[in-house]
Amino acid sequence: MNKSKAQELAEKFGLAWTVEKQPTARIEGGFTVNEDGTVTLNEGAKLLQNPYVSIVRPDLDEVFASMGTGYEPTQNIDIISKVLKGMEPFGDKLNMTRANSINFGRKVEMQISIEGTTKIGDDTLTRYVQIIDSNDGSTGLMVGIGDMVWRCSNQTYHFKKSAQFRFKHSFGMKQQITLLPKVIEAALALSMKRIEVYNSFVSTKASRDLAHGLVRAMIGVDRKMSQLERSELSTRVLNMEDQLYSDIYNQMDEAGNTLWGLFNG
């Protein structure tokens, strides 16, 4: 039997496995654990089902988490199938370039590259669709556009990602997954708008003093704090602050004193 494209990709990226909801139970009364690992209930004891389930990867016998019965797991093959469906209108302009699982499958990431690059000032921007899901309750299913900026002068890049669309692992998850093709299309539309914003950043002058507000927004401190306040900061925080200022100013030196330079820092 011919394999589907989704199955081929799942096998290629090591995602050809499933996740199950398995009921859990508790024993009310006494019991005995036998040598072979089986359990024998004492007379009058009861086996009662718990109001939560285990999320299990059966091929590894790996238990990811205990969740409420309303939790609805997603299957890699279903997500890949819907992603491929969403890519169809774009032909060869989209290509699934990377997918992997983390910590035995507790988290799954997929990346779809968008053909071609975009110039923002003197920088080259590569775009991709990022899909992140979890099987341990740490996140829902997230879809967004990521940007990789490669600065030709020093061959460094800054990786930035955001999730514009999020879906919870609830009873409606199966229905929500059917929306993935439209979500991918919408994410690409947002990407085009973002490019317009980036280009406006290139021509918008920005004072280097704006770095203070940016650093404070990120780590809660900046160099405009009083000496007394700064004397109470740990070495770790001061090192983080120094690194952020260095990154911002280096990028503004490269891209100019513009919002684009500030943003890249």
Kindly list the domain boundaries of the chain, sorted by start residue.
Answer: 17-68, 76-202, 210-264
Is residue 151 very low, low, confident or very high in pLDDT (cuts 50, 70, 90)? Answer: very low
Is the per-residue pLDDT at 17 higher than 80?
Answer: yes
Q: What is the mean pLDDT of residues 128-154?
A: 71
Is residue 168 very low, low, confident or very high in pLDDT (cuts 50, 70, 90)? Answer: confident
- The region of weakest confidence among 70-79, 98-107, 212-221, 232-241 is 212-221
Question: Are 132 and 165 a contacting pair, CB within 8 Å?
Answer: no
Fold of 76-202: Aspartate Aminotransferase, domain 1 (3.90.1150)
Question: Are 148 and 157 a contacting pair, CB within 8 Å?
Answer: yes
Is residue 233 very low, low, confident or very high in pLDDT (cuts 50, 70, 90)? Answer: confident
For residues 166 and 197, which has the higher predicted lDDT (pLDDT)? 166
Question: Are 169 and 73 a contacting pair, CB within 8 Å?
Answer: yes
Amino acid 123: pLDDT: 64
Mean pLDDT score of the chain: 79
Is the per-residue pLDDT at 157 higher than 70?
Answer: no
Question: Are 246 and 156 a contacting pair, CB within 8 Å?
Answer: no
Amino acid 152: pLDDT: 35
Amino acid 150: pLDDT: 42
Cα 110 vs. chain centroid, distance in angstroms? 9
Q: What is the mean pLDDT of residues 162-183?
A: 77
Residue type present at position 101: S
For residues 91 and 54, which has the higher predicted lDDT (pLDDT)? 54
Is the per-residue pLDDT at 9 higher than 70?
Answer: yes
Is the per-residue pLDDT at 20 higher than 90?
Answer: yes
Amino acid 161: pLDDT: 47
Amino acid 103: pLDDT: 92
Instruction: With CA atoms as reference, report the closest residue to 74 among 163, 143, 159, 141.
Output: 141
